[in-house]
Chains A and B, each alone.
Chain A
Amino acid sequence: MESNGRDAFRILHELDSLRAAKADIDSRISALEAELHHATLQNGVVPNGSSPVISTAIDSLLSDHHDHNLTPEMIHRYSRHLLLPSFGVQAQSNLLNSSVLVVGAGGLGSPALLYLAACGVGRLGIVDHDVVELNNMHRQIIHTEAFIGRPKVKSAAAACRSVNSTVQIVEHQEALRTSNALEIFSKYDVIVDATDNAPSRYMISDCCVVLGKPLVSGAALGLEGQLTVYNYNGGPCYRCLFPTPPPTTACQRCADSGVLGVVPGIIGCLQALEAIKIASVVGEPLSGRMLLFDALAARIRIVKIRGRSSECEVCGEKSTFTQQQFREFDYEKFTQSPLSPSPLKLNLLQADSRISSKAYHDRVANGEAHVLVDVRPAHHFKIVSLPKSLNIPLPSLEARLPEISSALKEEEERKGAGSDLSAQLYVICRRGNDSQRAVQSLHKMGFTSARDIVGGLESWAQDVDPNFPTY
């Protein structure tokens, strides 16, 4: 096992250095090609045999008749943009002179970054502190399997460079905080919020207001997505719409609620589009309006939202929100949730009402009479479950107590003729939070010996059965 691990490490390492070398060579090739093209036009030396005279004529035509700075390579690369009457040379030049920052290289950031790199923004920044994981791959399409376990910023930057080596890609491999946000944001023209939590959304919006930057904000969860542009041309900021943060129980995460991969993909593409419109100064950005996407119903609705609120604490008329206040603002406290969400770890029970997954495993192996109740939702139970566990989702626990009583009785009868033997009652869930809530209510309802398995199925997979699937 260990030498396999070392082999894999060595291979990954070599892949890394080869990829880095390839990226260097690619960018050198494109630079030389551009140089050659330019030199050819200037000197009339045409390697492929066409007439030098014609070439010189073209050269003089070009130098006389264009008033933009697009190089021949740029004209070729972006020709389909240049051919659009409503986009053309002017918008492409604007784009090439602009800079866009994407915060988050996840489900939204993946397609947004790829399109922004491809379309030729001048400078493209990426902020992320996370690493690529296997359960990201279904939606975070910028990353490839070879990058699992490595920083998302590195992976995303490599992908962007391989799409367009002429764009300046800036890696910000750090978590966005009030201590670094002002400095990072101030270097960009347009900010794209592709994060996944409430405190980041407030922090990013406030920072954009303080610095006067337009913000393209997208979100996706389950089978729905939302998109709007904040702080653009007198339009509202995030706080104008949501002055008070929602209760933490209303902030679902993809890791808990699930998300269909293509849904953030669609919203991320639309974020790229809005950023391109703002950066190139074309069209009407989605400010003062919000796009709501319902994937199941196949419906997109665009609604009119309120304008800038004069009462807004950050962008309103009476607001005095300064850079200094921004630096000192506690977004985690304000929203009651962490900036880098990690799974909740409750501790509701006394130690003697809990049992580790290992100890539970030993008791099962010893043939102890017991009933295991799994309180996860039914669709979780269908993914994977422990043998002989009884699925009673937490919300229906109270109504289904008789099932637990009869299961206990049955187990006692099955295990021994001895009447003094009582079957144990254990409760499990995914991570060990709902199981504690369940045990609390079981205690109240007379099942005083009920115990929960600490850390749930995740600890079972970690400490007992490494082959047990995690999700």
Chain B
Amino acid sequence: MAELRNYAAPRSLAEALQVLASGPATVLAGGTDLMPQSRSARVRFASTLLNIQGVAELRGVRRRDGAVEIGALTTIATLRDDPAVRNGAPVLWQACDHFASDQIRNAATIGGNICNASPAGDTLVPLLVLDASVVLASGGAAGILERRLPLSEFLTGPGRTARRPDELLVEVHIPVPASGWVDRYVKFGTRPALDISTIALAVGGTLLDGRLENARLALGAVAPTAIRAHDAERVLAEGPLDRARIDRVVDAADATIHPISDVRASDWYRRELVHNLLRRMLTDVCPN
């Protein structure tokens, strides 16, 4: 932390963007990733630390025009307690329910989880299944520019995103799924609380006559970013979800992933988990 020179704690988005526009700054939201990372010297702070906690307009969940809009500063605890999330995006709700512990959920924000871009970030997998996009803002006093990117394009690598240094993530945009939508989230960690996902899976789609239409399947901690498994989705869409199809979905997912070995699991074991838990999840979402 040696070179930290300025600390900014703006009250409005415009002020925050002004700070970002004027030079390199490290954004601090809940700090639950940033603080441990800076302590272990994995990130170095820029000369300015920009604490966005005071920007009230970045907080909260709104339901508007067939979408759920989540402010970047909304905490995981708020998401877990919000009926709009629970009803409109149950797969995200499930992920929030499995997220860390109460203490961390109270501080951790969805914007931080997305911008941290860990392959194991727990909200990313359900957000991919929900076809979420992110809203990025830049500018300042003179005016605010916004652009919207699908989450899948925003995540570019482990810890890497398409965010420009002068941009702030301000909102997550989730189209409310059509009626008949079903989804599931499965996180595998060695313990039920306070665990980084060894792998995470989520599936969603419209259930019709034993088939999953418009199916979306996403996986976490098995590739450089959380990913959609498009090939497997195509297999899902082709016909009823019987045993043979589930086997083919699993094969297609297997061909999509590139798990690594680390202290938490070997690449082989991660693959095995994807096979077994994907099979179990699909059987569960469409039982017959």
A and B from one complex: no
Tell me the B residues contacting A by CB distance below 8 Å: none
